[in-house]
Structure 1
Amino acid sequence: MNDEIEFVRLFREHYTGVRRFIERRVSDREAAADLTMECFEIAWRKRTPSEPFGLPWLYRTARNLIANEYRRRDREEALWTHIEHQVRSLAGEPESEMTRRLVEAVRALPVRDREILWLTYWEELSAAEVAVVMSLSPGSVWT
């Protein structure tokens, strides 16, 4: 029980500082909130009552999470570049209003819907296969 009390104290004392630390580096408030909570989740899992850690440990963990976020963003941007190239080559034009609108429409989709499209059209999976990957029913994939 004392371990939980100490962790709550750590959380209350450092949450705002860790959140601001992350916000200054990722420039996306929602992502910063998620990364902050992930940082404290890791702290909870790795806590050792005999070796308590404080703000420097939290900052180091946050830096690692920020680096992972940057890598994820780089991969996502590379994927978008590839998709845009594929759309342009299918359209047979280097750049057109239709191509631009199509790319914007796909970017505007919720993440889950985009993933279903990518798995279906770029990975050429069936609805049943996409359902397994996404932990959905085939009917949900079709919808």
Structure 2
Amino acid sequence: MIDDSEFVALFREHHNAVLRFIERRVSDREAAADLTMDCFEIAWRKRDPRDPFGLPWLYRTARNLIANEYRRRDREGALWAHIEDHVRILSSESSPALVETLVDAMKSLPERDREVLWLTYWEELPASEIAVVLGMSEGAVWTRLNRVRARLRPLLTAATDARTEEVADDRR
């Protein structure tokens, strides 16, 4: 194992270069910063004084992380398309604007909050099973679910009000 000071030197020397490398390939600055830190976390775990690595190794690791990010985005895009289709089927009498509002509201939530909603409403799991999946207490599941619902309620109420006005305008 290399000592901490050698890793700190590696980090200081190459952090900006790796970050710029990733930023040029990933459009989201926050994601690029996260991927950069992931790259150095991997470097920390794999460090070996007999086989030191430098910038080329970090770039190769960053490329792998970027490829994973692209795959994750593709999967997430497919998931959102599936969710939109599912919501449209469930709310066939709703306007496209209302469906779009629901999907946009869901997208605005942090992933951990969306996960609670998906497990509750799409997978139809009880809170006790969601607690096992997410590694938290049942009480924490209920707390998170109630907070997410409270955040969604005003967004959906506003969309419903807009839909009511739209229908009223159409009847005039």
> RCO (CA 8 Å, sep 6+): is it higher in 1 or 2?
2
Q: Which moved more, 1:59-68 or 1:113-122?
A: 113-122
1:13-67 Cα distance to aligned partner (Å, 9 max, x none):
0000000101111111111111111101111111110111110000000000000
Q: Percent identity?
A: 71
Structure 1 regions of 5+ residues with no counterpart?
A: none
Look up the equivalent residue of 1:129 and give its one-letter code: E
Please report the TM-score for the alignment, with normalisation by the length of structure 1: 0.93
Matches within 5 A, 1:9-88: 9-88=9-88
1:84-123 mapped onto 2 (5 Å cutoff) = 84-92=84-92, 96-123=96-123
Q: CA deviation at 1:88?
A: 0.3
**Which whole-Å CA distance do the structure 2 matches of 1:132 and 1:92 have between them?**
34
Kindly name which structure, 1 or 2, has the bigger radius of gyration based on alpha carbons.
Answer: 2
CA 1:70–1:93 in 2, change beyond 3 Å: closer, same or farther?
farther
Secondary structure at 1:136 match in 2: coil
State how many pairs are aligned: 143
Range with bigger deviation, 15-24 or 119-128? 119-128
Aligned to 1:134: 134
Structure 2: unaligned runs, 5 residues or longer: 144-172
Divergent runs of 4+, >3 A: none
Cα RMSD (Å):
1.6
Q: Which shows bigger deviation, 95-104 or 116-125?
A: 95-104
